[in-house]
Amino acid sequence: MDAWDSLLQSTAEPAAQSRQPVPTAPLEVLCIPACLSDQPGCDPKGGWCDFDVVHAIVDWPCILQCLLDETGRFALPRAKPSTPGLCQLPLPCGLSVMTVDSKGQLPEALQVLRGSMQDCVVGIDLEWCPDFVKGACSQVALLQLASATCCLLVRTSHVGMPPELLAFLRDPTICLLGFGWGGNDEKKMQHSFGIGKATFGYFLDLKTVSEALGYYQYGVNTLASQLLSLRSPMGKQVTMSNWEAKWLSRRQVCYAALDAFLPGHIFRRAA
């Protein structure tokens, strides 16, 4: 039994009790102005403390319970206005997750993501199938983008890197926020699409920012525990799963969404 199974079992309701829909309460936000140059750890030249951010007040245990309450594969309600196949999962606290399986869905999905942005920060992460053969290098199968309230899961194994997505990544008004990007993520991005962080319009690495603030050698899970009071159940079994499968499983969607949401929320909390 992995961490997801344990959490699912601990949050499961008795079989005889009918499940009630989880309320999607409006998101509470707190606007945090750009920090002052004399604050500890602040580096104006680093480009990460010269813009305002909006801190979303999120009930993370409620989010996890909502994600894990779904059974089997996600059967998500379609977004409105509806593009065939575009799925949007509403979550508590005003959050939502969208999946994109075809190029035709991408323009509307990116429009929804842009419309959800209350500051310029967008978390970015990648998933790919594990390389079990020495020397093999699998392609990026999933690209995740997340504002404070909306997570977009782009199945690049299905759609590749369309011009609309590339334009979004190159937009200098959007701050793409990764974590430890200089390792495998950068290599996979270069191998799969011939682009990397140098191509992005504006990029920050949360690892660099967190270390500047005194959080040395902290991973995302530890930062989430310290700053968001969230113990994220990210099991290795999900990480090593088949991200190129025809349908993403419930656990894959949960994992991918959290992977994209958390860096941005950690950054806003630490700002």
pLDDT digits (tens, 9 = 90+) for 152-167: 999 999 999 999 999 9
Q: Which two tokens stand for residue 166?
A: 């590339």
First-to-last alpha carbon distance for the chain, in angstroms, is 37
**Is pTM, for the whole model, over 0.75?**
yes
The span from the CA of 202 to the CA of 93, in Å, is 28
Are residues 126 and 193 in contact, defined by beta-carbon separation less than 8 angstroms?
Answer: no
The span from the CA of 223 to the CA of 218, in Å, is 6
User: In the chain, what are the domains?
Assistant: 33-270 (3.30.420.10)
Q: What is the mean pLDDT of the chain?
A: 77
Per residue, the 3-state secondary structure of the chain, as one string, reads CCHHHHHHHHHCCCCCCCCCCCCCCCCEEEEECCCCCCCCCCCHHHCCCCCCEEEEECCHHHHHHHHHHCCCCCCCCECCCCCCCCEEEECHHHCEEEEECCHHHHHHHHHHHHHHCCCCEEEEEEEECCCCCCCCCCCEEEEEEECCCEEEEECHHHHCCCHHHHHHHHCCCCEEEECCCCCHHHHHHHHHHCCCCCCCCCEEEHHHHHHHCCCCCCCHHHHHHHHHCCCCCCCHHHHCCCCCCCCCCHHHHHHHHHHHHHHHHHHHHHC
Lowest mean pLDDT among 63-77, 101-115, 153-167, 176-190: 63-77
Position 201 scores a pLDDT of 95
The span from the CA of 252 to the CA of 237, in Å, is 10
Are residues 128 and 141 in contact, defined by beta-carbon separation less than 8 angstroms?
Answer: yes
Between the ranges 6-10, 156-160, 212-216, 230-234, where is the mean pLDDT highest?
156-160
Task: Examine the pLDDT at 258 and tell me if it is beyond 60.
Answer: yes
